[in-house]
Amino acid sequence: MLTEKTVRDIVNTVKDPHLHKSLAETSGIKELKISDTFVSLKIALAKTQTPEQMKVQREIVAKLKAAGAQSVGLRFVPLDDVELEKFGGIPEPGPSLLSKKSKTIFIAVASGKGGVGKSTVSVNLAIALTRLGKKVGILDADIYGFSVPDMMGIESRPRVVDKRILPVERFGVKVISMGFFVEDNSPVIWRGPMLGKMLNNFFSEVDWGELDYLILDLPPGTGDIAMDVHSMIPHCKEIIVTTPHATAAFVAARAGAMAVKTDHEILGVIENMSYFESKVTGEKEYVFGKGGGEKLSEVLGTELLGQIPLGQPDENPNEFAPSVYAGDHPIGKIYLNIAAKIVDKLEQ
């Protein structure tokens, strides 16, 4: 006949899957009753109602039945906060940018509408920050309209090491994009909840390592992904991208208003496609009008960080990256100046 000591000795060898400590160490057996060949147990685990709990249940039942129990009844309860605190809390599965200990600064690049060059700004801002000596990642959160890998000339794919995804590194920037996980530029046909789950995976399952800054290239507008970012990263900073056109600035104000309502700090406005400057005469043509960026920054009560003219990056036959400006390119220097302003704001 099973004794209480025998049952305790058996069950205490089982490990809490989240704390990686035995139930003897965690005092996980909270109640124990034996009636003939029936054993009833209440077990406390760091986390309950998980797949790991089912494994613990099967292990306990198998071990007790091998010792002579005909029937085993199990009830699971969570360890209380005081008990968890003694063990340092539940260890995280890997480095997480969303953990409380993370020192990474999140900067979301948003726009009210598509076609204003938001992704180009995200890419070149990330690269400019690396040129200032910062550790930078870029998350292409525009899951429907991903374009960052192509803009940066990335042809490789992320690797998986120890069940963690390693970002692709290009120009010193760590990159993750939905574009890495679809074939042949296929369309992504998902609804809101699936988008949020994928975005969460980009944080929880990717080994970003140590980052000073993570740039999030948001989809245009104020849809599901933008809402998820605002709820998942309440301390995220934000940059609003517009063109000089009055309508573009008016629409961009919606993205800025959303940031304000969700307590995201707006670092400033970047006006893209501000003008075209002739290489021959130096004359500036304001193709899309004037003043949109200035008006938007006034409305949002923030700074106009910079005005970026129309212009193509110089072609480099040895390095394909169709949207990346070199550090000594006139537009590359503007991005470097904007990056320096951001660093001054956030690290002063």
Question: How confident is the model at residue 30, as a pLDDT?
Answer: 92
Task: Please tell me the distance from the alpha carbon of residue 255 to that of residue 260, in angstroms, as a whole number.
Answer: 9
- Reported as a single tens digit per residue, the pLDDT across 220-259 is 765 566 677 767 777 889 999 999 988 878 788 877 777 7
Domain edges within the chain: 4-86, 105-347
**Most distant CA atoms of the chain, gap in Å:** 99
Percentage of the chain lying above the pLDDT 90 cut: 49
Rounded Cα–Cα distance for residues 160 and 140 (Å)? 19
List the Cα angle 186/248/111 in 5-degree steps: 50
Provide the mean pLDDT of the chain.
86
CA distance 138 to 19: 32
Please give the structure tokens belonging to residue 341.
């302003």
Residue whose structure tokens are 């309502």: 261
Could you read off the pLDDT of 191-221 as tens digits, one per residue? 555 555 677 778 878 889 889 999 999 887 6
Instruction: Please give the Cα distance from 50 to 313 (Å, whole number).
Output: 51
* Site of tokens 């605002």: 230
Contact indicator for 112, 253 with CB cutoff of 8 Å: yes
How far CA 195 is from CA of 14, 132, 224, in Å, comes to 38, 33, 8
pLDDT of residue 184: 61
37-61 pLDDT, tens per residue? 899 999 999 888 888 888 999 999 9
Q: Give strand ranges (E) for the chain.
A: 15-16, 21-22, 29-35, 38-45, 71-78, 105-110, 136-140, 159-161, 164-166, 168-170, 173-177, 213-217, 237-242, 265-277, 284-285, 304-310
Domain 105-347 listed as CATH 1.10.340.70: no
pLDDT, position 346:
92
Distance CA 10, CA 66 (A): 10
CA distance readout (Å), 41 to 2, 72, 75: 14, 8, 6
Alpha-carbon distance values, 291 to 173, 254, 337 (Å): 32, 18, 20
pLDDT at position 267 over 90? yes
| Tokens at 43, concatenated | 């077990």
The residue with greater pLDDT, 257 or 75, is 75
Domain boundaries 4-86, CATH class = alpha beta
Domains 4-86 and 105-347 share a fold: no
